[in-house]
Structure formats: structure tokens, C-alpha cells
């Protein structure tokens, strides 16, 4: 087995005992990327020189007894997280070639921890999409089946983690952009409580919804990655200033005595039979392990997609106004400033970003704001209240992560509504700001991964990881993709 196939915990043990050097681990990961990138296109930038310097420094830190949990671990970051001196494009032509002058807080913490940042991963442009087909620099493909999408918008991070061109990765989750690709790529993906990880240096899509979170091959790896970046940051005024939840303390405790609520509204039409079948099998296993399974109804969930596609585009319309050709990024010629701005935005933004800007601008326009954006915010409040009521009688809620397995490339490109419905299960947690996680739950008859989603109340990461760890133990890890099929 290649070192690129190790979990983070296994790699940590090998590095600490001297069985493996950080430079050797990095070269194994870079070799895996060289074998697979032509087919997968998980990365937009691989920082060979910077990563090799970081690996040398990590070996020195390990030798001197200064190693932390992430020292020497090759990880990837989504290309909407700013990195000093390294291209940060958000997969958009409007930011092609832009090199930020600073590191975002999450990136800075990774560097301080001694992590080896392999590079920047592909995404749907400005994180707007569910398939990573909207990248201005070419789509990412699913390592389980390269004719299918990896999910989105953090598809590059998910694909890199699944195939071994990183041992773990970070993405951003605005409406499911970590959990949905984790489900489709057969790995663990987690969205923390809003404010638990600083958004300083995360290029904003929808500021009240965006959250950075980890991808890992195991629940324990996801915990390690979250610990590396979580914590208060004075640069982010929405950052949680209180005590951090105990992410790791509940691992291995099982689910005996826990009350698990099954969301009635997250099933039915549109859910593939294999997805429901695997979901029910996991529920049965949890019940056999001592959990109490209850039904839970949250009627506002049926309005979650509609609510999200008013709130998120409205915030995107405001956030993306800064990309005007004046301060940074692309600038197209024009006889006046107004013409230059119009030409720059028309040339720089892709069709999906343009669609969402137009939706958001309309929702905020005079005469429509109360009818659309205002009503959506009211529904969002109802959703939060329904969550609170549900958590009075259950400890966590569960659902499939995605109604389907990975769909074929191009299958939904011309049908925005079908694409948007890919996130029907994941959006509610973003509207409420609550943590949730996707854990592998086996495969369908064609061998494609299926995800099991666990939702918890705000700052409920401890019980979230407890249930996720139990699911992983009960179900086991799915077989990794056949590398030869991806590398050929």
C-alpha cells in the first residue's frame, strides 16, 4: 500500500515513530496526483515547491519533538480560501491569476500547525453549484466513476481526499457543498456550527451561510482536521468566542441510550431506492446498537430549497459586487468606468454565477424585497424554531445526505432545478447554522457511494461525532476506487 492511502491517524503514527518521513509522505501524495490529475482534475494549483519546503520543515519539527497532530500531513484547500502568494481564483475567470497578499485564518492556522498544503482544489465557480462542472477551468470527475460528477461545490477537495492526492482537505459549505460531495465520493465531510471556524480569508458567497469544514477518510481524521482550524478569531465578528466543544471525547462511546430522530420530510419522491435501502439498514444497525429511533417532522424543510435560493443569491449579489475590474482581478476595456465594469463582469462571471446574481438582485429590488427575501427570512426563522422543538425530544436528526448517488457528467447541466434539488437534505443545517456530517453508508448495486447524514444542534459537535463514529464502526469503510481505472 502506498503512503498516499494512509489515514491521517495512521500517517501521524508512522511519522512520529520514524517509520515514515514527511518528505516521503508528500512525494507519495504528489506521485498519486501525477497519476490521477489528468483524469480527475481535482486541483487547480499544486504547489510543489512550497509543499516540499513545508515537508522539510515538518521533518525538522518532528525530529526536535515539536510535532502536532497535523505536522507533516499533506492536505488540500479549496480554491476559495485565500493563500498568500498562491493563486486564489474561486474557479472564476474574473480572478484568474490573482495572488492574495495574506493568508486566511484557517490557512494560517494550518501552516502554524505544520501541515503540508499540497495545493488548491477545484470547485464550482464561487462555490455555486452541486457538481463541480461550473469551474471556469474545467470540471472535476468522480474517482469512483470518471463518467460521473464528484458533487459540489467542493468536488475537488472530495476527489483529492478519496483518491489519495491529499490525506484530507478543507472545503466550504453554504448549502451542502462539503457533505454532498463527501457522500458522492465515499468519504467523511463535515460542516461545523456557524462561527466555529473563522471565515476570514474565505471568499464570500453567502455570508450568513458559509462555513469552512473538513473532508477526511475517517471520522477521526475529520475531528483532527477540525481541531486544526477551529477557534475564535477577532478578524471574524461572527466567530464563536466561547469554549470549543469536545470534538474527540465522544469517539468510541457508541450510541446506547441516544435518541435519533428520522426526518420525515427528507424521503419519498426523488430518492433513489438504493439510497433509502442503505439508510434503513444503517438505522437498523443503530437501533441494534442501543439507540432509540424516533420519527421527527419538520414541515419547513419542504420549503428549504426555495428559502435558500432567495437568501443565498441575495447575499451573493451583494458580495460579488466587489468584483468590478477596479481593484483586482480581470479588467476588460471600456470607454467609461461603467462600460469597463459591465464588460469585466460579463466576461469574468460564468452562467451559473450570473444566474444567481440576477436572482439575488431581483429578490432585493424595490417592490420585491419584502415579498421574496423578507418572506424567505421568516421561513428561515421557522426552520430554526422547528429544529429547537425537535431537539427537545431527540439528540440528533438523521437523513440521507443526497437523494441520489453520483449522477453522470452533463446529466443536470441544462436543468438548474434538478441540480438545486441535489442539496435538499443538506440546506436546512445551513439555514439554522447547525453542524452536520456525512458518513459513508455503503454503496448502491453499481458500486457508487451512499452517504448517511447526521444533524445536531448548535455546538453539538460532540454528539454529532459520537453518532458518526458509531455509524462508521457499524458500516465499515467502503472499498476505495480502483486506481488503475482512474490513472489509465
- For residues 157 and 69, membership in a common domain is answered with yes
Which residue range is the domain that position 202 belongs to? 3-253
- Grade residue 376 by pLDDT with cuts at 50, 70 and 90: very high
- For residues 245 and 307, membership in a common domain is answered with no
Q: Please indicate, yes or no, if residue 356 is contained in any of the structural domains.
A: yes
Burial (CB count <10 Å: 0-12, 13-18, 19+), residue 444: middle
Q: In 246-387, at which residue ranges do the beta strands (DSSP E only) sit?
A: 259-263, 292-296
- For residues 126 and 189, membership in a common domain is answered with yes
- Grade residue 469 by pLDDT with cuts at 50, 70 and 90: very high
Domains: count for the chain: 2
What is the DSSP annotation of 77-105?
EETTB-BTTB---TT-GGGTT---SS--H
- For residues 77 and 195, membership in a common domain is answered with yes
Q: Please indicate, yes or no, if residue 145 is contained in any of the structural domains.
A: yes
When the pLDDT of each residue in the chain is averaged and rounded to a whole number, the result is 96
Last residue of a domain, one of 324, 355, 377: 377
In the beta sheet, which residues pair with residue 202?
81
Are 159 and 44 in contact, with CB atoms under 8 Å apart?
Answer: no
Last residue of a domain, one of 334, 362, 377: 377
- For residues 207 and 306, membership in a common domain is answered with no
Distances (CA, A) of 101 to 205, 328, 452: 20, 12, 39
Locus of grid cell 483524469: 39
- For residues 16 and 165, membership in a common domain is answered with yes
- For residues 249 and 312, membership in a common domain is answered with no
Q: Is pLDDT at 485 greater than 80 in this prediction?
A: no
pLDDT tens string 37-66: 999 999 999 999 999 999 999 999 999 999
pLDDT tens string 157-202: 999 999 999 999 999 999 999 999 999 999 999 999 999 999 999 9
d(CA 442, CA 421) in angstroms, rounded, equals 22
- For residues 242 and 152, membership in a common domain is answered with yes
Closest among 419, 458, 343 to 93, alpha carbons compared: 343
A 10 A CB-CB count for 292 gives: 15
Catalytic residues: 78, 153, 177
- Please report the pLDDT score of residue 455 as a whole number: 98
Q: In 332-478, at which residue ranges do the beta strands (DSSP E only) sit?
A: 396-400, 436-443, 449-455
CATH code of the domain covering residue 99: 3.90.1300.10
Last residue of a domain, one of 377, 403, 437: 377
Q: Please indicate, yes or no, if residue 142 is contained in any of the structural domains.
A: yes
Q: Please indicate, yes or no, if residue 75 is contained in any of the structural domains.
A: yes
Q: Please indicate, yes or no, if residue 407 is contained in any of the structural domains.
A: no
Q: Please indicate, yes or no, if residue 119 is contained in any of the structural domains.
A: yes
C-alpha cell at 210: 458559509
Amino acid at each position: 500500500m502506498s503512503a498516499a492511502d494512509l489515514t491521517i491517524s495512521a500517517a501521524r503514527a508512522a511519522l512520529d515513530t520514524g517509520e515514515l518521513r514527511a518528505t516521503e509522505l508528500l512525494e507519495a501524495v504528489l506521485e498519486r496526483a501525477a497519476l490521477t490529475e489528468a483524469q480527475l482534475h481535482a486541483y487547480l494549483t499544486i504547489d510543489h515547491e512550497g509543499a516540499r519546503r513545508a515537508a522539510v520543515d515538518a521533518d525538522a519539527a518532528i525530529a526536535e519533538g515539536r510535532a502536532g497532530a497535523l505536522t507533516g500531513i499533506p492536505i488540500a484547500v479549496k480554491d476559495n480560501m485565500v493563500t498568500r502568494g498562491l493563486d486564489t481564483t474561486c474557479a472564476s475567470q474574473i480572478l484568474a491569476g490573482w495572488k492574495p497578499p495574506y493568508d486566511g485564518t484557517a490557512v494560517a492556522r494550518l501552516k502554524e500547525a505544520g501541515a503540508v498544503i499540497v495545493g488548491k482544489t477545484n470547485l464550482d465557480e464561487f462555490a455555486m453549484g452541486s457538481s463541480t462542472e461550473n469551474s471556469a477551468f474545467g470540471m472535476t470527475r468522480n474517482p469512483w466513476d470518471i463518467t460521473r460528477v464528484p458533487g459540489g461545490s467542493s468536488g475537488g477537495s472530495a476527489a483529492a481526499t478519496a483518491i489519495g492526492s491529499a490525506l484530507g482537505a478543507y472545503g466550504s459549505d453554504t448549502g451542502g457543498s462539503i457533505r454532498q460531495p463527501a457522500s458522492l465520493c465515499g468519504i467523511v465531510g463535515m460542516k461545523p456550527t456557524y462561527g466555529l471556524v473563522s471565515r476570514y480569508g474565505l471568499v464570500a458567497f453567502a455570508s450568513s451561510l458559509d462555513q469552512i469544514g473538513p473532508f477526511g477518510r475517517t471520522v477521526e481524521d475529520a475531528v483532527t482536521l477540525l481541531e486544526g482550524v477551529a477557534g475564535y478569531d477577532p478578524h471574524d465578528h461572527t466567530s464563536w468566542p466561547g469554549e470549543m466543544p469536545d470534538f474527540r471525547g465522544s469517539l468510541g462511546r457508541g450510541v446506547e441510550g441516544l435518541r435519533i430522530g428520522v426526518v420525515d420530510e427528507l424521503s419519498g419522491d426523488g430518492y433513489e431506492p438504493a439510497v433509502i435501502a442503505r439508510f434503513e439498514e444503517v438505522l437498523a444497525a443503530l437501533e441494534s446498537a442501543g439507540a432509540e429511533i424516533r420519527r421527527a417532522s419538520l414541515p419547513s424543510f419542504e420549503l428549504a430549497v426555495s428559502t435558500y435560493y432567495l437568501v443565498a443569491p441575495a447575499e451573493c449579489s451583494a458580495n460579488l459586487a466587489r468584483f468590478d475590474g477596479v481593484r483586482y482581478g480581470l479588467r476588460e476595456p471600456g470607454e467609461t468606468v461603467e462600460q469597463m465594469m459591465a464588460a469585466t463582469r460579463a466576461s469574468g462571471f460564468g452562467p451559473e454565477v450570473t444566474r444567481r446574481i440576477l436572482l439575488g438582485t431581483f429578490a432585493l429590488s424595490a417592490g420585491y424585497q419584502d415579498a421574496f427575501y423578507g418572506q424567505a427570512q421568516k421561513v428561515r426563522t421557522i426552520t430554526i424554531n422547528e429544529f429547537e422543538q425537535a431537539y427537545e425530544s431527540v439528540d440528533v436528526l438523521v437523513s440521507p445526505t443526497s437523494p441520489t448517488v453520483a449522477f453522470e457528467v452533463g446529466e443536470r447541466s441544462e436543468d438548474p432545478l434538478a441540480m438545486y434539488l441535489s442539496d435538499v437534505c443538506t440546506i436546512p443545517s445551513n439555514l439554522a447554522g447547525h453542524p452536520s456530517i456525512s458518513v459513508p453508508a455503503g454503496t448502491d448495486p453499481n458500486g457508487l457511494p451512499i452517504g448517511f447524514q447526521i444533524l445536531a444542534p448548535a455546538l453539538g459537535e460532540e454528539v454529532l461525532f459520537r453518532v458518526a463514529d458509531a455509524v462508521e464502526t457499524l458500516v465499515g469503510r467502503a472499498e476505495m476506487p480502483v486506481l488503475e481505472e482512474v490513472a489509465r
